[in-house]
Homo-oligomer: A and B are copies of this chain.
Amino acid sequence: MLVKLDNPILLSKAVEIISELVTEVRIKVNEFGMSITAMDPANVAMIGFRLPKASFSQFETGEESLGINLDSLKQILKRGGAGSSLILEKKENMLNIQIQDRIKRNFNLSLIDIEGEEKEMPNLEFSSRVELDSVDLVASIEDCGVVADACSFIIQDGKFIIEAKGLNSARSEFSGDEAKIQAENCKSRYSLEYLQKFIKGSKLSEKTILNFANDHPLKMDIKTQHMGLSFILAPRVETDD
């Protein structure tokens, strides 16, 4: 296996975001490209990351599944500068990472065994789909973080509302002018701790797509020409709400 990325910043940022949710993952490399699918240790959230073959300037590989400590990988990827390319090559039980810069810089990362079965992103059905500007979603989630540790995603009469209530409360309202809303009336609560981690991914793309339903998991999709990042988050179903 030998793959080359001429603009490794997307990979570097994605790894940084994923590393906040899980510490060890299997990186799969096959004819479609590179992908990571992982569930967080609390079984509350899943992450799927996909870097299609076309995003690589060189791509020679069979089917690989690389057990990786994400924190180590993150530290190494951070060492690349703005203009540097990245070559990833599997060598026996190591992943060789070459940063192509003015000088030859090489890292070897030990491959590790990952316990448990491979995960796949589940196929879920949703009653509501909202596509909105990432910058607005980020602002709304951070607003909610000021007053509470969970927020509700609400569809009401064609409007999309993000609302958090503690001692104090925060609320954002999106009409059809500010978001593409294809949705039925519904309401579901989600943990802000997770959402605040997910929105770091939103910053990678102008738009974010939310899929949810009444007291149902959330699926959040961030797509660019060169990568896809998806999050699934279990709802917080509470009786006192």
B79 touches A172 (CB 8 A): no
Tell me the residues in window 154-200 of chain A with beta carbons closer than 8 Å to chain B beta carbons. Answer: 167-174, 178
Within 8 Å by CB of A76, from B75, B103, B107, B168, lies B168
B142 touches A79 (CB 8 A): yes
In chain A, residues 68-108, which have Cβ atoms closer than 8 Å to a Cβ of chain B? 72, 75-76, 79, 101-108
Q: Does A110 contact B (CB under 8 A)?
A: yes
Nearest opposing residue in chain B for A145, CB measure: B75
Enumerate chain A interface residues (CB-CB to B < 8 A): 72, 75-76, 79, 101-110, 133, 136, 139-140, 142-143, 146-147, 167-174, 178
A selection of 13 A-B contacts at a CB cut-off of 8 Å is: A72-B168, A75-B146, A76-B147, A101-B139, A102-B178, A103-B178, A105-B143, A107-B147, A107-B168, A107-B170, A108-B169, A109-B168, A110-B167
